[in-house]
Each structure stands twice: as C-alpha cells, then as structure tokens.
Amino acid sequence: MVRPRRRVSKRPDSRPGGIGPTPFSYAWLVLLALFAGLPLLILLSNSLKSALELGLNPLGLPTEFDWNNYVTAWNQGNLAQGLLNSLILVVGTIVGTWICAGAASYALARLDLPFKRGFGNYFFVVISLPVQLFLVPLFFLWSKLGLIDTLPGLIIIFVALQTPFATLLLRTFLVGIPKELDEAAKIDGANEWQIATKVILPLAQPGFLTVGLVTGLGAYNELLFAVTFISTPSKLPIATAFLQFSQGNTQLYGLVNAAGVIMIVPVVILFLFMQRRFISGLATGGLKG
C-alpha cells in the first residue's frame, strides 16, 4: 500500500522517514541549533557589556553597545602581535605542507617510485601515531637545535604533522587525473618538473585548497605544541596569547570575551564563505585530530 504524497515533486522523495513527521525533526533541530549557537551569541553579546552591566545583566542582550572591551583587549592583550605570529604560522604551515605533501603525493600517484605501497602505508601509520610518543624527545631535540621558542621551529613541526594526511588526500586527487596528459606533455618535450607544475598542479587545485584550509585552521587553533614550545610573550601565537590574557583577567568576562571574538572572527568569516569545502575537508581530515 502506497501512502499518498502530500507534496508533488518530480523526483520521488528519497528522504528517510518521508515528509510526514518533519515538524518533529525541525523542533529537535532548532533545540540542537540553540545549544550550539546560543553560547556563541552570548560570547558576542557579553563582549559588548561593561563590567557593571555584566553584573546586572549576565546573559541578556546589552542595553547599549560598549566597545571599550575591544579597545582594552586589543591594547593589553598582545593580540596584534599574536595575530601576526599566527599569520606567520598559518602561512608557513600551509606553504610548507603544500610543497612537501604536493611533491610526495605526486611521487606516490604518478611517478615510478620504488616501494610505493610501503611509503603509502608509512604515511598512513604515521597519521595514527599519538603525539605523545614523539613529543618528549622532540622537545629536547628542538632545544638542542635552537629551534625551541621560535616560530620556524613550530612551523616545521606543524608541516611534519600535517604532511602525511595532506599527502594521502592529495594522492586521491592526483590519481584521478588521466595519465595521457603526462604522455602528451612529454611528447611536447616537457620534463618531470614542468609536467608536475604546469600540467598537473593546476588540475589538482581543489585538493590544494582543501589542504590549505584544513592545515591553516589546525595551525591557527593548535594549543599543545604552541603552549609547550613557545614561551617568549612576543612570539606567542594568538591561541596562547589569548590564553595568557584570559588567565590574567579571570573574572573580567566582557574583556576576555572581546579578545575571544577578535580571535575567532577571521575563522568564522572564512568558514561562512567556504563552508562546503571546509566541511568536506575537515570530515576527510578527521583522522588527524
């Protein structure tokens, strides 16, 4: 017995559960959205309250917008320096990962690499290694090499951590590009380097963009290595600069919230513009934590 459809559509309705009970779904989805979204809105609205108003009105909307928290947080929180340091970290990590993972995935996907399967498996195993296994010797190795407490030292770590996942992701992109393109370019007299950079790289751009977003976000938000390897205040990336600021102003929620908003605005804006790519990239990159 086929139940009559309430809505006429050209395609058969393939959604699970049909369209009958969707009001129920919407009610739950709205509840979940409030759970996820309200705390963020409160972060924003509390950042616009003076300390006095925050005491009188802890969670409600601000009666008047007080931007002083932003001015004070910016001036006292070392945030400009933190953002600049994070920008260096993010750009360095993205470019480094592009180079290392791009070249490695190219070798794995398209070149006559010996022990191809072995190298592929090596990268896969490395992704699932716990950070703790190498953290302690790495710290003392870095202090011996003079890389501790430097941004380049942190960039090298981030690139090394992101490259295995990025290599495997880019490999799936590169494998899909037909081999005939290489042959054609070779007949036209191109060498391996020219084939890689002029023919294949432009075709793999979506993969590189995804890798860039995932690794950039990782470098921006990272805490464990940032907090372990960087101690000089002027070198702190934004995450640990923010952490220090929040620890120095524990009860001043308006002020610290303003610093928090400053830190997350670039990420949220970028996400709203490219949410599809972000989501698919992070869902595939899930394995790396």
Partner 1 sequence: MSTATSTTSPPTPPAAPPQVPAGLEATVGRSRPRGGTVRRRRRLVAMLFLLPALALNLLVIGGPGVSSIYYAFTDWNGFTTPKFTGFANAIHLANDADFWNAIGHNFIYMIIFLTVPMIMGLAGAFMLSRIRRGAVFFRVVFFIPYLIASVVNAQIWKNLLDPASGLAAQLDKIGVHFLDNVYFFGDSNLSLYSVAFVDNWHFWGFLVVLFLAAMQGVDASRFEAARIDGANAWQEFWHITLPGIRPTLTFAIMIISLWSLLAFDYSYVLTGGGPAGSSDLVSLLVNRTAFGSLEAGYAAFIALAMSLLGGIFLIIFSIIRRNEDETN
Among 160, 199, 203, 274, binds partner 1 (CB under 8 A): 160
Residue placing its CB nearer to partner 1 in the complex, 71 or 265: 265
Cβ at position 100, least distance to partner 1 in Å: 4
Structure tokens at 196: 């890689």
Cβ at position 155, least distance to partner 1 in Å: 11
Closest by Cα among 281, 135, 289, 288 to 211: 281
Among 113, 190, 199, 274, binds partner 1 (CB under 8 A): 113
One-character DSSP codes across 164-187 = HHHHHHHHHHHHTS-THHHHHHHH
Residue placing its CB nearer to partner 1 in the complex, 91 or 264: 264
What angle, rounded to 10 degrees, do the helices at 275-284 and 253-273 form? 90
Residue 139 neighbours by CB distance under 10 Å: 14
Residues with Cβ within 8 Å of 123's Cβ and at least 6 positions away in sequence, in order, are 104, 163, 164, 167, 168
Binding status of residue 73 toward partner 1 by CB under 8 A: no
Cβ at position 65, least distance to partner 1 in Å: 18
Among residue numbers 209 through 268, which ones bind partner 1 (CB under 8 A)? Answer: 217, 220-221, 223-224, 227-228, 239-240, 242-243, 246, 251, 253, 256-257, 260, 263-264, 267-268
Cβ at position 282, least distance to partner 1 in Å: 7
Binding status of residue 204 toward partner 1 by CB under 8 A: no
Cα separation, 98 vs 87, in Å, equals 16
For residues 162 and 210, is the Cβ–Cβ distance under 8 A?
A: no
Under rule CB under 8 A, how many of the chain's residues touch partner 1?
115
Structure tokens at 183: 């042959």
Binding status of residue 106 toward partner 1 by CB under 8 A: yes
Among 54, 151, 185, 236, binds partner 1 (CB under 8 A): 54
